[in-house]
């Protein structure tokens, strides 16, 4: 099946580095879903106001296509050296590089200069990521708090204390400070590099860009 | 993005008629996921035993491709005559005809005559439906029982009392009786035809086939 890009998400993550490993880990991270010209129709989204949450089906756009099939992957959360069945992970390195994210729906605008725009919270997507489908979250059929969650649960509580000097934090736009500290608390360092890294924050007109500028980063 | 078929599901639904409108409505409905030759690798699925539930990302294979984009659809649950934003529904008539189902994972077999096979419960898929991705269900990031569920909640309790004479039920294989009665209780009749319909059950070696044989069916 050939998928059409229906929209793209705008987020503060200009590169893969720093993106939380699952949706919802940092609820303060917001993103704006802007539709492609052929799908800019207010009627297609207006009834979403009845929902608190939506599903995004999207593409891991940074991967090259046609990688050979690897039946196992090494999830970063397990230290990057244990192999796990690919279909038992949410790794991007899967036969079809499709991502699935449950995000909160904060705002439905039907008539902006960019057409209809959905503002979502908790997005774990890179800026510009193509969106292939948007579906309402149906709690009756999709909320199973008691389901066993595999290894993803084990590292649930691992967060860092973030020590961010006030005079540096003052350089960050006020509305980005909470989300930035929460992203750092999740420890964006790769699992194989648990020592100091040098991170550069660059504030542009539209984005707060976080980059790893360590020598080996 | 071009999606590859990684597996197909085998269910008792040989046609669209009778398929529950969401996954999980009839937990007793089981399906078997059989992988395509290129993906028959036990290593790719064995760690799924750590999970109770999985996501299936699949294709509405009965639809013709390249339909023009319709920003609204008429969900059968609303009587079939109210128009709703397509992205606020789970209708198959969407820009990319991708389905998303949360099913229970009942059995993981790594070594059958057909290769690895996953047995799932609550599947709302037609026999032979192509599967594009399988992901573990992560309750920490995906279980939100309190999320508002839109109009899908309103008709939650609508079930029929099923009056199935014993001598006829005896003709149905024993392991299919509960699921058959539950499928009927959900009322498989189209919303615009709430009168008597004639349904034929045909038991083949592999399947219980349910067909609408009403004159206009």
Most confident of A192-201, B21-30, B111-120, B204-213: B111-120
The residue segments making up the domain with residue A135 are 7-157
Among A118-127, B31-40, B122-131, the range of highest mean pLDDT: B31-40
- Nearest residue of A to residue B1, measured between CA atoms: A3
Query: Which residues 6+ apart lie within 8 Å of B2 measured at CB?
Result: A1, A2, A3, A65
The single-letter DSSP state of residue A47 is: G
Report ipTM (2 d.p.). 0.81
Give A80-139 pLDDT, tens digit per residue: 788 999 999 999 999 999 999 999 999 999 999 999 999 999 888 999 999 999 999 999
Q: What's the pLDDT tens digit per position in A188-197?
A: 766 655 566 6
Residues A52 and A117: beta-carbon distance below 8 Å: no
Buried/exposed B96-109: b ≥16 CB within 10 Å, e otherwise? bbbbbbbbbbeebe
Tell me if B189 is assigned to some domain: no
**Is-contact A12 A176, C-beta < 8 A?**
yes
**pLDDT band per the 50, 70, 90 thresholds, residue B13:** confident
Q: Does A131 touch chain B (CB under 8 A)?
A: no
Length of chain A: 217
Spell out which residues of chain B touch residue A57, defining contact as CB-CB under 8 Å.
57, 96, 98, 100
Non-local (6+) Cβ contacts of A187 within 8 A are A158, A159, A160
B203 within domain boundaries:
no
Q: Is residue B90 part of a domain?
A: yes
| Residue B146: inside a domain | yes
- Provide the domain count of chain A: 1
pLDDT at A173: 81
Q: Residue B151's pLDDT is what?
A: 60
pLDDT at B59: 95
Interface test mutation site (partner B, options A8, A20, A36, A87, max chain B beta carbons within 10 A): A87
B50, B97, B149 member nearest A138 (Cβ): B149
Chain A stretch 24-53, residues whose beta carbon is closer than 8 A to a beta carbon of chain B? 24-25, 38-39, 41, 43-48, 50-53
Cα separation, B137 vs B105, in Å, equals 10
Distance CA B101, CA B103 (A): 6
Q: Under a CB-based contact definition with an 8 Å cutoff, are residues A213 and A200 in contact?
A: yes
- pLDDT number for residue A160: 74
CATH number at residue B82: 2.40.30.70
- Three-state DSSP at B139 gives helix
pLDDT of residue B131: 98
Tell me how far CA of residue B59 lies from CA of A132, B4, B86, B122, in angstroms: 13, 11, 17, 17
Interface of A with B in 166-205 (CB under 8 A): none
Q: What's this model's pTM, rounded to 2 decimal places?
A: 0.82
Q: Does A108 map to a domain?
A: yes
| Residue A171 located in a structural domain | no
pLDDT at B155 over 70: no
Residue pairs between chains A and B whose CB atoms are closer than 8 Å: 228
Q: Do B138 and A89 touch (CB under 8 A)?
A: no
* Residue B206 domain-assigned (yes or no): no
pLDDT for A217: 40
pLDDT tens for A54-71 read 999 999 876 666 678 999
Q: How far is CA B7 from CA A21, A82, A205, B82, in A?
A: 27, 26, 46, 35
HSE at residue B187, side-chain half, CA atoms within 13 A, is 17
Residue whose C-alpha is closest to residue B65's, from A6, A1, A57, A39? A1
**CA–CA distance, B178 with B172 (Å, rounded to integer):** 10
Asked whether residue A207 is domain-assigned, the answer is: no
């Amino acid at each position: 099946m050939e998928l059409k890009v229906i929209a793209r998400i705008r987020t503060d993550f200009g590169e893969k580095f720093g993106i939380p490993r699952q949706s919802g880990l940092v609820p303060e991270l917001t993103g704006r879903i802007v539709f492609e010209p052929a799908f800019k129709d207010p009627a297609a989204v207006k009834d979403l106001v009845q929902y608190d949450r939506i599903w995004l089906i999207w593409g891991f756009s940074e991967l090259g296509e046609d990688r050979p099939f690897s039946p196992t992957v090494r999830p970063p959360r397990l230290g990057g050296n244990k192999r796990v069945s690919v279909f038992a992970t949410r790794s991007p390195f899967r036969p079809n590089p499709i991502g699935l994210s449950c995000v909160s729906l904060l705002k439905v605008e039907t008539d902006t200069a960019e057409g209809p725009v959905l503002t979502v919270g908790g997005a774990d997507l890179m800026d510009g990521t193509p969106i292939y489908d948007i579906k309402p979250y149906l709690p009756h059929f999709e909320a199973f708090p008691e389901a066993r969650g595999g290894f993803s649960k084990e590292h649930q509580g691992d967060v860092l204390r973030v020590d961010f000097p006030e005079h540096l934090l003052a350089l960050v736009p006020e509305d980005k400070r909470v989300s930035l500290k929460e992203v750092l608390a999740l420890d964006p360092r790769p699992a194989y590099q648990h020592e100091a890294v040098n991170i550069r924050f660059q504030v542009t007109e539209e984005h707060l860009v976080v980059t790893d500028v360590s020598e080996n980063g």
